[in-house]
Structure 1
């Protein structure tokens, strides 16, 4: 049996007496089985304009986009399509923030699976709105809770068509 040795750790101990912002935690990407070869379909992305608060507290557009891709494991899709099946399962969602342009898929066919690679993948807690119980006889209230994870990337590269990459 191999020796089990604990080396330096960057673990955070959460105690009742401390306040820790869970949104600042980052998970090690190696803990998750994120495929290395991914594909996206032409219409499997959404975008929205990033907004931030100005000095008056108003939300203003920054001119940057937040792009959400729904991607699939490429070897799995190749196996499914090779066997003539149409059930491809649920996608993995990857969010890319601070983008100055939207992806261009004009050179690809509808329904085509397009190779995509991501740089700087990170896994973080995701804050979602949920109903919480306040007390007997009181209505449920909306609260923001960390209950999911979010996969983020710094940048992306679309396709590998004829040895050239488009972005």
Structure 2
């Protein structure tokens, strides 16, 4: 009986391991560390909504949402990147938290999502003064369920004034 319980725990652990947010190991490639699964190749059923321009030092609204009501979000990681490095600072919403990849709060990830039907995540991102006159790209990975996820598929370019 104990072997049965251990076997079940080992199988379930990878699915539950990151329910509280992406680990720091995902900072560079934004790839979930779910065991024995690969990224989806079809276009993702999600959209990342951001304006095309932002003002340095002022918050920019970020919305990640499913294209249909049943396109639920179980996990995500979002970065604004310049020269392929995370930049700026995220201000999390109720379903998100920040992660420090290069600098404090430069990456946004999920909190434990207990509700079954979450298909919209809202947060804010603040570009630093050093980004004025530059373009950043928002790169996003979205997890629908442990074995269904899209890596670095949602990108939006934003000019910083």
- Scaled by the length of structure 1, the TM-score of the pair is 0.21
The structure with more helix, counted as a fraction of residues: 2
The structure with more strand, counted as a fraction of residues: 1
- Scaled by the length of structure 2, the TM-score of the pair is 0.22
Higher-Rg member (1/2) = 1
